[in-house]
Amino acid sequence: MNSSAHADRSGEDGKARQGGGQTGLLDLWPDALRATGAMRGQPPYRVTQVFEWVYRRGADGFAGMTNLPKGLRERLEQELAVYESSIADHVQSRDGTEKLLLRWPDEATSECVLIPEGNRRTACVSTQVGCPVRCVFCASGLGGLQRNLSAGQIVEQALRLSRLCGDERGLANVVFMGLGEPLANYEATVRAVRTLNADWSLNIGARRITISTVGLPKQMRRLADERLQVTLAVSLHAPSDELRRRLIPWAERITIDDLVSAGSYFFERTGREVTLEYVLLGGVNDGPIHARQLADVAKRLRSNVNLIRYNPVAGLPFSRPTSEGGRQFLSVLRKRGVNAHLRRSRGQDIDGACGQLRRREQSG
């Protein structure tokens, strides 16, 4: 690897590359690309040209960047990789949802999903390989955390999904709801948001980006202070500390009061309402009493609630409530004045829930 490129790569604060391999172009912001060895002596507009190819026209290598001199293309190719991953699997659901399993140079694999919503499309990206949180109902944490993804590797997922749209303007929203806990990989997550947001990149408005967290109060406050207009979704999943601790090991040290207080701070600082996510687990957290308690939490936080019926994971002892059960739970919330929605599950026939495809590959 070219040493000047390494020194100028501002993405990882000097940390070792995530997953080895060549320097990833997607980790470079314009100044850092301009400072690479390959770009030495080149006019500044070359940077714009490269980024236009990659972010607007979906180029996956330098060779086809026909408005760049051939020598420059070759030098860039030697020094940088546009994409670091290869596609290990690509599955399509009957409902139009598509899922990619990406393999990184260190053989780690992660998932990302494209979810159509009318003619709009949402990209769901992972922030880590595996997950350190180990929620008892979730497939992602079953093998623990393997490593963080870099900002460029997070952006790469969005780009690969936008290529599936056949149109780089095809992504309406990006949700950080794949494998991993985004706020446990804080720097890369925020940097990826800023990259997706940049006018030289995909130019996706921060309001169209959602970060979903298990709820880490310190990092939620820090994110509020970034003054980014992102949507923050907090995975509550239980309306009392006692039940939440049974479902989410990290809740041992974090109370719902802590989350309400950090969520309120986020709202005050950004003016953005926080969303509470709530996975309905049959017979566990889906009773009328839970709905009433959840309504209280949502009102304290002045938050919206997104309900989703559990997507069963092979080998885990949880069941999916009926759609009627889901609607009843929803109506309790609404009667109490909470702005709540019951989300449709997407891509069920392709192991839609986090971590399931990766898990199948590992065990198969």
Q: Please identify, using beta-carbon distances, which residue of 291 and 354 lies nearer to ligand SAH.
A: 354
Q: Which of 353, 357, 358, 359 binds ligand SAH (CB under 6 A)?
A: 353
Q: Which of 79, 277, 286, 351 binds ligand SAH (CB under 6 A)?
A: 277
Q: How far is CA 192 from CA 43, 114, 278, 340, in A?
A: 27, 18, 26, 29
CA distance 310 to 353: 9
Q: Please identify, using beta-carbon distances, which residue of 23 and 219 lies nearer to ligand SAH.
A: 219
CA distance 353 to 163: 22
Q: With CB under 6 A as the contact rule, which of the stretches 13-21, 91-99, 129-137, 332-340 interacts with ligand SAH? A: 129-137
Q: Are 107 and 69 spatial neighbours (Cβ–Cβ below 8 Å)?
A: no
Q: Please identify, using beta-carbon distances, which residue of 24 and 180 lies nearer to ligand SAH.
A: 180
Q: With CB under 6 A as the contact rule, which of the stretches 114-122, 219-227, 290-298, 308-316 interacts with ligand SAH? A: 308-316
Q: Which of 279, 330, 338, 342 binds ligand SAH (CB under 6 A)?
A: 279
Q: Residue holding tokens 């019951």?
A: 342
DSSP sequence for 20-73: -SSEEGGG--HHHHHTSGGGTT--THHHHHHHIIIIIS---SSTT-TTS-HHHH
Q: What is the DSSP code (8-state) at residue 223?
A: H
Instruction: Say whether 354 is catalytic.
Output: yes
CA distance 271 to 5: 39
User: Is residue 311 part of the contact set for ligand SAH (CB under 6 A)?
Assistant: yes
CA distance 189 to 201: 16
Q: Please identify, using beta-carbon distances, which residue of 238 and 338 lies nearer to ligand SAH.
A: 238
Restricted to residues 186-245, the positions that interact with ligand SAH (CB under 6 A) are 212-214, 235
User: Is residue 342 part of the contact set for ligand SAH (CB under 6 A)?
Assistant: no
Instruction: Say whether 181 is catalytic.
Output: no
CA distance 168 to 97: 17
- Number of residues that make up the chain: 364
Contacts of 322 (CB under 8 A, 6+ apart): none
Pick the catalytic residue from 12, 84, 111, 181. Answer: 111
Smallest gap, in angstroms, from Cβ of residue 70 to ligand SAH? 44
User: Is residue 181 part of the contact set for ligand SAH (CB under 6 A)?
Assistant: yes
Q: Which of 177, 204, 256, 340 binds ligand SAH (CB under 6 A)?
A: 177
Q: What angle do CA 113, 114, 120 make, to 5 degrees?
A: 155
Q: Are 208 and 173 spatial neighbours (Cβ–Cβ below 8 Å)?
A: yes
Q: Residue holding tokens 């393997």?
A: 146
Q: Please identify, using beta-carbon distances, which residue of 68 and 301 lies nearer to ligand SAH.
A: 301
Q: Which of 310, 342, 357, 359 binds ligand SAH (CB under 6 A)?
A: 310
Strand pairing report for 171-176 and 109-117: unpaired
Q: With CB under 6 A as the contact rule, which of the stretches 199-207, 261-269, 293-301, 305-313 interacts with ligand SAH? A: 305-313
User: Is residue 174 part of the contact set for ligand SAH (CB under 6 A)?
Assistant: no
Which two structure tokens, joined as six digits, stand for 41?
Answer: 């002596």
Q: Please identify, using beta-carbon distances, which residue of 29 and 137 lies nearer to ligand SAH.
A: 137
User: Is residue 313 part of the contact set for ligand SAH (CB under 6 A)?
Assistant: yes
Phi, psi of 207 (to 5 degrees): -65, -15
Smallest gap, in angstroms, from Cβ of residue 339 to ligand SAH? 18
Smallest gap, in angstroms, from Cβ of residue 31 to ligand SAH? 31
Q: Please identify, using beta-carbon distances, which residue of 58 and 312 lies nearer to ligand SAH.
A: 312
Residue 308 pairs with which residues in a beta bridge? Answer: 279, 343
CA distance 348 to 328: 22
State the binding string over 85-124 for ligand SAH (x if CB under 6 A, else -): ----------------------------------------
Which positions are annotated as active-site residues? 111, 354
Which residues sit at the interface with ligand SAH, rule CB under 6 A? Answer: 133, 135, 137-138, 177, 181, 212-214, 235, 277, 279, 308, 310-311, 313, 353-354
